[in-house]
Amino acid sequence: MAKAILALIFVFALLMAGCAGVPQEKYDALNSACTEGKAALQQNLDAQKARANSAEEKLSECTGARELQENMLRSKEAQIETLNANSDLLAEAKVKTDGIAQLDLLISYYNDAYGPGKIINNARLNRIETQVNLIGDDALPSKWQAVRDCYSIENCNSAKEAFSSYVNLKIAGLEKEAVKIIAGS
């Protein structure tokens, strides 16, 4: 645009230098055309500047909005990390409490079979056997087998005590671990 203005001025200057005898009307017409062209070019330049300023403002708004969104995203990612950590802890605690529930069920079956006034039968023994196998503890089957294979009152009382003590200690240990996990979260 500035080049166009310079070109018009240069043409005007050439006409003025080469045509000293140009009539005033032609001079005025050329001057008017030049002034109008210059005004049109200035108006075009102003419009271009206004569009550029508007685009810069929109870019600034978008940049601010993008930064805000990035900050929100970082905040949400931090929240997700915290929730994942808590979720992992709760899953671990659930494993412990599920283990406690299985051991509690085993004790319930055991008391149903060996409690006061109970008559041992195969159905009750099979429930205990199934629960022992379901729990999957390495030492538990041998403790249960000692109860099943006992041959005297003294031997049976000792095997029963060892079995029930072992299960109760496992329950207490799992409860302690679950509390530690939950307290740590």
User: Is residue 65, in this structure, part of any structural domain at all?
Assistant: no
What range defines the domain where residue 157 resides? 86-184
User: Is residue 47, in this structure, part of any structural domain at all?
Assistant: no
Task: Give residue for tokens 């005025």.
Answer: 28
Are the beta carbons of 182 and 89 closer than 8 angstroms? yes
User: Is residue 136, in this structure, part of any structural domain at all?
Assistant: yes
User: Is residue 80, in this structure, part of any structural domain at all?
Assistant: no
Cα maximum dimension of the chain: 145
| Per-residue confidence in pLDDT tens, the chain, 185 aa | 666 666 667 666 655 555 555 678 877 778 887 888 788 888 888 888 888 888 788 888 888 888 888 888 888 888 878 777 778 888 888 999 999 999 999 999 999 998 888 888 889 999 999 999 999 899 999 999 999 998 888 998 999 999 999 999 999 999 999 999 888 76
How many Å apart are CA 133 and CA 164, to the nearest integer? 16
DSSP assignment of 122-152 equals: HHHHHHHHHHHHHHT-SSHHHHHHHHHT--S
How many Å apart are CA 73 and CA 129, to the nearest integer? 53
Whole-number pLDDT of residue 60? 84
SS3 for 170?
Answer: helix
User: Is residue 137, in this structure, part of any structural domain at all?
Assistant: yes
User: Is residue 6, in this structure, part of any structural domain at all?
Assistant: no
- CA angle (160 as vertex; 154, 164 as ends), nearest 5: 150
| Element housing 185 (H / E) | none
Q: pTM for the whole thing?
A: 0.58
Whole-number pLDDT of residue 181? 86
User: Is residue 18, in this structure, part of any structural domain at all?
Assistant: no
User: Is residue 97, in this structure, part of any structural domain at all?
Assistant: yes
Domain count, the chain: 1
Whole-number pLDDT of residue 127? 94
